[in-house]
Amino acid sequence: MPDAPACRGVDYNRMILDIVHGLPKGGGYDRDHPELPVVAGLENGTRWEILVRHGHPSHCTSATYTLFLHLATVLQSNRKLNLNGEEIGALEAAKTMPDGTHLVDGEGPFWIFNSNGAGTAALLKHTGTGISFRDDKLAYAKPGDFLKLFWNKNVGASEHGHQVVYTGRRIIAGRDMVCFWGSQHQGKKARSGHGAEPLYFSAYPDGKVYDGYGEVCRPREDIEGMIFSRVTCMEHLAAGLDAMKAQAQARGPAPGGLPYLFVDDYLYKLRETSSDAATLDRTYGIMHADDAGVTGTVGTAAAAAR
């Protein structure tokens, strides 16, 4: 990523955690029919303000995308971002095109973010706002990183996973736990030597796992893979959205005369097909922090992005 002086010294991870701590708990969880967040632009003199409304009930990607929108809102308010009305409109988590055609994974910013594989990694790559890496040993990951958890080793239509924000690692009852904020619903899981247990362990003093927004922990043994996505230069967002629009226009209108729409072909295909980790990583420049000698490479890339 190119050097960006405006991004130096900005602790986006801390900003993300501050936003998380200010969000309400709960709100309900619905994996299949979540209410998507609403983002709108309000022209105020020579600048635009961003307004974000939570979607409740939520699911994992609608919750984390809302968090991404809140980060953009804070930066726009602090004049670190200067998005115009069209760019703000591009971030809308719309379900349909103007003619009523339903949007699907891989089409536009939200549906890229929502996709199988590594939607957050893809959106940060397309907009130039961050880097992504695998870090199974949690040697480089930091609280405030977006995190794609894989419950199996598959990529695409046959994968099972969860999109969250990493908050740290804990030992609970002598067991290694990965903790995160997101939207989830409590359930049960049979684990070797423990029988049927809760899926999630609360990260709150009250011991409660909330349906919807909340911070929880999950035994490390449940996790087959992790892709972390770190915001390193959110100030690239406007230029990134404009570049996506330019690529869509160069490609031409969609069939049926629909408006220009940026489509990530790889993610679009993952709706119905499977891929593999190597192809996913190569497509979005996902590095490997846990390989010998690579942790320094990831750190250097992050520094360059700032």
**What six digits make up the tokens of 110?**
């939200």
Q: Which of 5-9, 35-39, 58-62, 140-144 has the lowest mean pLDDT?
A: 5-9
Mean pLDDT for 155-161 is: 97
Q: Output the pLDDT for position 173.
A: 86
State pLDDT tens for residues 9-44. 899 999 999 999 999 999 999 999 999 999 999 998
Query: What is the Cα–Cα distance from 99 to 144, expressed in whole angstroms?
Result: 38
pTM of this prediction? 0.92
Mean pLDDT for 222-228 is: 98
Q: Output the pLDDT for position 38.
A: 94
Instruction: Return the biggest CA–CA distance within the chain.
Output: 63
First to last CA, the chain: 9
Confidence check: pLDDT of 3 > 70 = no
